[in-house]
Amino acid sequence: MQLSSYIAGNWVSGAGSGAVLRDATTAEPIASASSEGLDFAAVLEHARAVGGVNLRRLSFHERAARLKALARFLSERKEELYRLSYATGATKSDSWIDIDGGIGTLFVYASKGMKELPDGHVYVDGPAEALAKSGGFLGQHICVPLEGAAIHINAFNFPVWGMLEKLAPALLAGMPAVIKPATATAYLTQLAFRLIIESGQLPEGAAQLICGGVGDLLEHLTCQDMIAFTGSASTARKLRTCPRVLERSVRFTAETDSLNSCILGPDAAPGSPEFDLFVQEVVREMTVKAGQKCTAIRKAIVPASRGAAVVEALRAALEKVVIGDPRLESVGMGPVASLAQRREVLEQLARLRREAQVVCGGSAAPALVGADAERGAFVAPTLLHCPDGARGRAVHEVEAFGPVSTVVAYDSVEAAIDLARRGAGSLVGSVFTADDTIAARLVLGLAPFHGRVLVVNRHCAKESTGHGSPLPHLVHGGPGRAGGGEEMGGIRGVLHYMQRTAVQGTPDVLTAVTERWVRGARELEPDQHPFRKPFGALRIGDTFRSGERQVTLQDIERFAAVSGDYFYAHMDEAAARRNPIFGGRVAHGYFLISAAAGLFVDPPLGPVLANYGIDGLHFTQPVKAGDRIKVRLTCKEKSLRLGQGYGEVRWDTQITNQDGATVAQYDVLTLVSERAVPGA
């Protein structure tokens, strides 16, 4: 069976027989893949002219809702993916990382899209910048979707997660994707993609799939397209230096395999929780996915005085690992993805053996359960020991992309940092120590050369997500050898697919562009108190201006009694006079907020359901007894919560005194009913 590609809304097969894809355990053929004869220029044109247009019609929240629905759809059908995943060499727990991890990433981005992005089409990046004294000319950074296609070129080791962790932020940003999975495991990616299309959640053209090579795809890129790549550094270099990519300044981000380290702190003696946790983590990272993780631990960096104990503990643990057919429940580690991958691992292992001693494993075929060592792509979990890592070279340059790790000794914290940094850029480093001071030194030493640093001790171990687990909330990527790029990282990952533009103009222009009221823009005078208007009737700029209230000494003293706040600046005139900021007794800041609410709140039952917070509160000038305050309340931003019957409304709030000077400013956050409340 030849894998079909999904192009311009149709499943199509490439010409020729293509590459044969085989079961990693049995070597039985599963499918073939070929993209020969496909019109790659048409692929990009369909993404731009159809997919991008359809996605950009939807708001951020509508896209987020579709991601959530898609995640639920896949969750209900994931067992079909699990059954096919065994063919890649993955055990059930390996598949959980790939399949459930990918679906979980969709859920996270759906949630973040609803909570952290506006219910609109423009992302406002930071506050407005005043460019003139009068406040009549401002600057504002905005982000809008690129109007091209996102080319996603993925690695073989995570056929589902690798696709979904790129697809989720791209779709949320409003950019269509062209997905090119690694050929060796493309059959699992294609199955997941078929389910995505079956869900009906993606607009036409939002995603296309290429099974096989990319042909002349890159020759048709424009400045509005981008490439996100995961794989080898050599392939990344070829893509990055493609003439068309350079000529059109095509955005390019890469996440490449790197030499990741795990450091045992000098305080972690044998028998301590941190020592045991370190051993467990190294063994897990060597055997999960048969060590085929871009984040796997390649260097276990340990104090020289603990070297023998660590080596013995790791050897004993690795000898207990059951290797064989991943379909069997008793098996803890399956094969690598293919016979070609096995050859690659053994070739790199031979280079490492020139300067490190094999403790266990090696090139010999491992003992297997339910599998044939000749047909299956099995590699024994192999631990090496390099007592003098400072003089080693291969251990810092050569990666055997399989179940292989090397124990390297250090004499000081600074030496441990140096050994980790010799990888010349890594995706992740981890530290196991109970000493927070040592942890801080190691983190700050590792940070410039690592995209992520994990610190584990006895207190957080049960909740730790582990050394090798990229999370959608945090950046995944790293400098230097790790590719120099970033993926995910919450909303940061969405912004990779958007253009940041500085807009200059009047407050009214910025309000129109951003759909967010900017101070200085026109204030609208509603025919009734804004709190009487349901969500749909509220307009950006609707404003309420209150009458005045005089602040009295009695107000200050009563608020102190109610709140228990007897700070001297409010209660002791003589002491307050010595305060260089106040020069006498002043009202409590939180009294001003409470008094302001009394001035702008409309008490009867109405569309306002709840006040759920205050953002950006600043007290800018003290208020003393005898001063008079008033409030301006303006509808700043609206965000409908789809299907909830209400929306969030942000109110720009300013308290001024009798001289018109601002004494406090902040945003009030309310939940407002979509419809008028019966009986109100």
The total number of residues written for the chain in this structure: 680
Q: Encoding tokens for residue 336?
A: 């690598």
CA distance 398 to 183: 24
Q: 499, 137 in Cβ contact below 8 A?
A: no
Catalytic residue among 147, 165, 255, 486: 255
Residue with tokens 């009694």: 561
Greatest distance between any 2 Cα atoms in the chain: 92
Question: Closest by alpha carbon to 33, among 18, 23, 22, 15?
Answer: 18
Residue 547 CB burial class (10 angstroms; 0-12, 13-18, ≥19): exposed
CA distance 445 to 440: 8
CA distance 266 to 38: 58
CA distance 614 to 68: 28
CA distance 101 to 570: 54
DSSP per position, 572-595: -HHHHHT-TTTSS----HHHHHHH
User: Does an H or E element contain 253, and which?
Assistant: strand 251-256
Beta strands in 167-310 (DSSP E): 177-180, 207-209, 226-231, 251-256, 260-264, 297-303
- Active-site residue 460, yes or no? no
Q: Encoding tokens for residue 533?
A: 């208007």
Q: Encoding tokens for residue 234?
A: 């050599």
Residues 6+ apart with CB under 8 A from 243: none
CA distance 553 to 345: 79
Q: Encoding tokens for residue 227?
A: 């490439």
- Active-site residue 255, yes or no? yes
Catalytic residue among 143, 211, 262, 294: 294
Q: Encoding tokens for residue 455?
A: 């610190």
Q: 44, 221 in Cβ contact below 8 A?
A: yes
Residue type, 446: L
| Catalytic positions, written as ranges | 255, 294
